[in-house]
A and B are shown apart, each in its own frame.
Chain A
Amino acid sequence: DADVTQTPRNRITKTGKRIMLECSQTKGHDRMYWYRQDPGLGLRLIYYSFDVKDINKGEISDGYSVSRQAQAKFSLSLESAIPNQTALYFCATSDLTATKGELFFGEGSRLTVL
């Protein structure tokens, strides 16, 4: 089983619909992140959480919200999806105490908003 699991892996939806992308991890890491990847724009940070009671906005948080339900779970919501939110979304985790600070990514959730 993957250490960082994202669901759904693929989703097609319509403008105005509410969408939730879920992320769960078995690595025991405190820190979790949501990134968005678009062709030509690279990975951009949406939200991040350094522990269960901590939520922070990233570079492109408008139109998104998150919930950290537990240490292992971090979900991303689009309250009213729009076509320019069509992208590949990645959840990632890192260890607070690690000297490296490397990120461990999920396999991604491809979202298409029509």
Chain B
Amino acid sequence: SQKIEQNSEALNIQEGKTATLTCNYTNYSPAYLQWYRQDPGRGPVFLLLIRENEKEKRKERLKVTFDTTLKQSLFHITASQPADSATYLCAYESGNTPLVFGKGTRLSVIA
């Protein structure tokens, strides 16, 4: 079956450092991967999308990479701030199917 995994349930990082979150997938080739941010008790909010033919996508302090050989996407937050503390979800879609989400990584940025 198709699976998408986020390796770390939680990640603690010092303010100012770069946070790197990992998303791995197996048994399929997604057309694209998406990353969302979710704050406690709130709905997820879309951040970035990267297509299978793109290696890297950037938005302000955020960067996403997509390695189809490793079947992995990395999500980076540079110069992290306490306000970046949240749960980050990766999701894939292959063909005309709804998004399938990973379980998320809870990021805590410590001042």
A residues apposed to B, CB below 8 Å: 4, 33, 35, 40-45, 48, 58, 88, 90, 92, 100-108, 110
- Label chain B's interface by main secondary structure: strand
Chain B min CB distance to A10 (Å): 10
Q: Are B46 and A103 in contact (CB under 8 A)?
A: yes
CA distance A40 to B102 in the complex (A): 10
Given the interface contacts A41-B103, A42-B89, A101-B93, does A48 sit within 8 Å of B45 by beta carbon?
Answer: no
Q: Are the C-beta atoms of A40 and B43 separated by less than 8 Å? A: no
Determine if B98 and A45 form an interchain contact, defined as CB atoms under 8 angstroms apart: yes
Task: Confirm or deny: B100 has a beta carbon within 8 angstroms of a beta carbon on chain A.
Answer: yes
Collect the chain B residues with CB atoms within 8 Å of residue A92's CB: 43
Within 8 A of A (CB), among B1-58: 32, 34, 36, 41-46, 49
